[in-house]
Structure 1
Amino acid sequence: MGRPMIVVVGAGPGVSGSVARRFADAGHDVALLSHDQQVLDALVADLEPRGVAVGHAVADVTDEQAARDAVRRFGEHTGRIDVLHFNPSAYREKDPLSLTVPELLEDVALGVGALLTVVQAARPFMSAGSRISVTGSMAADEPWEGAASLGVQKAGVRNLVHSLDKALAPDGIRAVSVTVRGTLAREGAFTPDRVAEAVWAAVTRGEAAWTSEVPYAG
């Protein structure tokens, strides 16, 4: 059957990179999607010595066709996608009195809409037991007005995860948003590695314990 495979969308040096490492250490092959080739090169150099296969592609996930094509190529290469982890969001330091509608829609296209694109592309390669995970944030419930679009993105993507979970559950595929209720830091409870461990725990729960949101409060 081969090793299970995780696709990490919005791969970078923070939580998503830690998620890739956590799943690689558990024996998953890894596919990375990012807009930055240098970031991908660094992650590949870190992951390959762990003894897993690593695929990667550069694409802007708001370019629907490019993102679909990249995810489809990952699935066609391995024949399976066991976990799809979605990490992208836009941080735009504008309050709601200065944020324009086009800016808000641009940010939502990245932080929410791109999840639809990659899930739809991945679905033909997912089967019962496959999982979708999303890096959530307390900004969904406690937005900072100085970056108003971020809270909208995180509330929207969590809502979309709930819908995806309900739509896919009859096929044995589940979705979860891991809501990080703290600020990422280099030390303490909210390091990227600790958050990645929370993602791992959320994804590997049994069906009986499944919920489409898991809070991580450290």
Structure 2
Amino acid sequence: MTEGTALIVGVGPGLGLALARAFAAEGHQVALFGRDIERLTALSAEVTTPDGTARAYQVDVADADALQAALRSAAHDLGAPSVLVYNAAQLVQDTPTGLDAEQLARTFAVNVTGAVVAARTVLPLLDGGRGTLLFTGGSLAVRPSPLYTSLSLGKAALRAYVQALHEEQQGSEVQVTTVTIDGQIGGGDPRLAPEVVAGAFVDVHRRPRGEWEAELRY
């Protein structure tokens, strides 16, 4: 018996892989989503799930139709999801005066719109209408940087969206939380090692209903 399927959107060799491993260790089937299918397939082979290894799904999260289709395919292939982690982000160095509209639209599509599409797609797919939607936030949401303007705007908008979705889902069996990470993952601080941060996401998923909150400041 498994704990349902965990959908990890935005998987690389750092936090994304650690999240996949952490939820697999909890007994979940795991689906990994990303743009580079060769790298994604190699990473999926490093994740041991109850039924073997994780499944890789190639998708550009900025393409709403493709993202919806990939998430639905994973639910069909692996079973109804119980967890969604939206970990995708586009990191671009840009300044308030140097940021143009097209660039902002491109980054916003990954940093925010993809999260909205993922949440709306997964909510009706959740196993028995119960589950957890988790979003990787960052301190730029509350302390914006003039060197990473579009990411600061994206993380602030993502934080606002998750808080609104959390309120909307009050009374349901769906937990909605952003994990706001204050620091550089893998930057040398042992508290910010990818596997340690991934453990915090798992801990949120395990919370009893009375302890659900819109945000974990980590």
Using the size of structure 2 for normalisation, the TM-score is 0.93
Residue 35 of structure 2 corresponds to: 35
**Distance (Å, rounded) in 2 between the aligned partners of 1:208 and 1:170:** 11
Say whether the 8 Å CA contact 1:7–1:84 is kept in structure 2. yes
- Can you list the C-alpha shifts for 1:121-151, whole angstroms capped at 9, x where unaligned? 2122113430000111001111221111111
Matched, 1:64 2:71: no
Number of aligned pairs? 216
**Distance (Å, rounded) in 2 between the aligned partners of 1:16 and 1:79:** 21
Task: Within 5 Å, give how 1:71-110 maps onto structure 2.
Answer: 71-110=71-110
- 1:6 alignment partner, SS class: strand
Matched, 1:114 2:117: no
Give the deviation of 1:2 after TM superposition. Answer: 4.4
Residue 156 of structure 1 corresponds to: 157
**Distance (Å, rounded) in 2 between the aligned partners of 1:200 and 1:48:** 16
- Can you list the C-alpha shifts for 1:165-213, whole angstroms capped at 9, x where unaligned? 2223333111100010112225321111111011111121111111010
Residue 25 of structure 1 corresponds to: 25
Residue 7 of structure 2 corresponds to: 7
**Distance (Å, rounded) in 2 between the aligned partners of 1:111 and 1:169:** 25
Tell me which amino acid in the other structure corresponds to 1:4.
G
Tell me which amino acid in the other structure corresponds to 1:60.
D
Matched, 1:211 2:195: no
Residue 146 of structure 1 corresponds to: 147
- 2:21 alignment partner, SS class: helix
Matched, 1:130 2:125: no
Say whether the 8 Å CA contact 1:28–1:52 is kept in structure 2. no
Q: Give the ranges of 4+ consecutive aligned residues of structure 1 lying more than 6 Å apart after TM superposition.
A: none
**Distance (Å, rounded) in 2 between the aligned partners of 1:91 and 1:18:** 19
**Distance (Å, rounded) in 1 between the aligned partners of 2:44 and 2:130:** 26
Give the deviation of 1:74 after TM superposition. Answer: 1.1
Say whether the 8 Å CA contact 2:11–2:32 is kept in structure 1. yes
**Distance (Å, rounded) in 1 between the aligned partners of 2:125 and 2:14:** 27
Say whether the 8 Å CA contact 1:176–1:203 is kept in structure 2. no
- 1:146 alignment partner, SS class: coil
Residue 193 of structure 1 corresponds to: 195
**Distance (Å, rounded) in 2 between the aligned partners of 1:195 and 1:124:** 28
Give the deviation of 1:5 after TM superposition. Answer: 1.0
Gaps of at least 5 residues in structure 1 are none
Tell me which amino acid in the other structure corresponds to 2:107.
D
**Distance (Å, rounded) in 2 between the aligned partners of 1:199 and 1:152:** 23
Tell me which amino acid in the other structure corresponds to 1:129.
R
Matched, 1:170 2:158: no
Identity %, equivalent residues = 27
CA RMSD of aligned residues (A): 1.7
